[in-house]
Structure 1
Amino acid sequence: MESTEPTPEALQRKLYFLLEQLQDMARELPPKYQMRVPIELLSGLANCLLNDTVFEIVKGLMEIQHFTEKHLFQQRLQVINKHTCEIESMMALNLTPEEQEKQKQILLKRHKEELRQTDMKLVIQLDQKVSDQQDTLEKAGVPGFFVTTKPIEIKVQMYLFDFILRLSKMDIPESL
């Protein structure tokens, strides 16, 4: 009976392949990020990717992110649509042109502030999604991922996330 487990040699070849691909991707990064992605990190990441679980986690996180972004965009559009309806309703009133202009300016000022507040809420929700992703990947043991709000570290994590996504789309033969 043939074993479905890859041989140690096959795993070694896959590891080298993954590491080589990750190194190639890291070389494409701007220099200030290259230095934040040392060979030890890439090696740990390649080792972590020997098992397809991380690929599945990353694909799932991407689906959740896309769904969330669409949902938040719809929320923003609803606010804008509500504002448009309010202006149309006000314009339908039998007001003098001066009163109409005054009311329009009042509405536009209020709408601008409402939209600013809505956008702030949406950004907070997106930041929470980033934090959730960091936490999920850290708990899964993916090197380079931890909860942080530092922009440069988040950018490095975005690059690592992209590397994993790109590798997940490659046809990596089990028997390299």
Structure 2
Amino acid sequence: MIKGFYSKYCNMDDSQMLQKKLYFLVEQLQNMARDLPPKYQMRVPYELLSNLANCLLNETIFEIVKGLMEIQHVTEQHLYQQRLQLINKQKLDEQQLLADSTVDPLLKAGEINKLKETQKQELKQFDMTLVNQLDQKVTDQQQTLEQAGVPGFYATTDPLDIKVQMHLLDFILRLSKMSISLSP
């Protein structure tokens, strides 16, 4: 069994192995694209899939995508922790106001309402800042992948284009899990 496998693949030269890998990648990408909703299938033509498969012959692209994904997870976790810290600070401020015995109880209710309104606006502004940071991270990722020569990637804010790029990233990540068995 091993001898048969060995003789089948060891007699192939590198160009034959690359061609076989390319066909496999194109086939896998086509299968993945078929599973997309129709509005996304139209935006992922065969030419894009073929160019993407050709690009993925360079295993470095898998590493770039995995690295970008790790950076995104770390960034999201950091932003989430910052948000939790703000919420905890706001709760402490509210508890301190409630515990303050020098404030007249009738005035305290009004002060608490003012504090809550201020905190609500502060959290809304903080969330807008987080969204802007995440949007910038998306742009950075798009530019990195475009510079790496990955087809389908360019800086855009169009939600449909971003969704197509997310599907392409999903394809790349799924193929990266298969790539171990593809290495010549």
**TM score, norm. by length of structure 2:** 0.90
Q: Secondary structure at the match of 2:114?
A: helix
Q: Is the 8 A contact 1:134 1:146 kept in 2?
A: yes
Q: Deviations over 1:71-123 (max 9, x none)?
A: 11011111101100000000111134322211111011000000000000000
- Selected match of 2:14 from 7, 13, 16: 7
Bigger RCO (CA 8 Å, 6+ sep): 1
One-letter identity of the residue aligned with 2:64: I
What value does the CA root-mean-square deviation take over the aligned residues? Answer: 1.7
Q: How many residues align?
A: 173
Instruction: Please state how far the C-alpha of 1:67 moved relative to its aligned partner.
Output: 0.4
The equivalent residue for 1:106 is: 114
% identity of equivalent residues:
63
Q: Mapping of 1:16-95 within 5 angstroms?
A: 16-94=23-101, 95=103
Q: Which has the higher helix share?
A: 2
One-letter identity of the residue aligned with 2:48: L
The equivalent residue for 2:170 is: 162
Segments of 5+ residues of structure 1 without an aligned counterpart are none
Of the structure 1 ranges 163-172 and 77-86, higher mean CA displacement relative to structure 2 is found in: 163-172
Instruction: Please state how far the C-alpha of 1:127 moved relative to its aligned partner.
Output: 0.4
**TM score, norm. by length of structure 1:** 0.93
The equivalent residue for 1:148 is: 156
Instruction: Please state how far the C-alpha of 1:169 moved relative to its aligned partner.
Output: 1.3
Distance 1:123 1:175, change over 3 A: closer
Q: Secondary structure at the match of 1:146?
A: coil
Q: Which has the larger radius of gyration?
A: 2
Q: Runs in 1 of length 4+ with deviation above 3 angstroms?
A: none
Distance 1:125 1:175, change over 3 A: closer
Q: Is the 8 A contact 1:10 1:175 kept in 2?
A: no
Distance 1:16 1:172, change over 3 A: farther
Instruction: Please state how far the C-alpha of 1:175 moved relative to its aligned partner.
Output: 6.4
Q: Is the 8 A contact 1:19 1:43 kept in 2?
A: yes
The equivalent residue for 2:181 is: 173
One-letter identity of the residue aligned with 2:77: K
- Selected match of 1:133 from 119, 141, 164: 141
Segments of 5+ residues of structure 2 without an aligned counterpart are 1-9
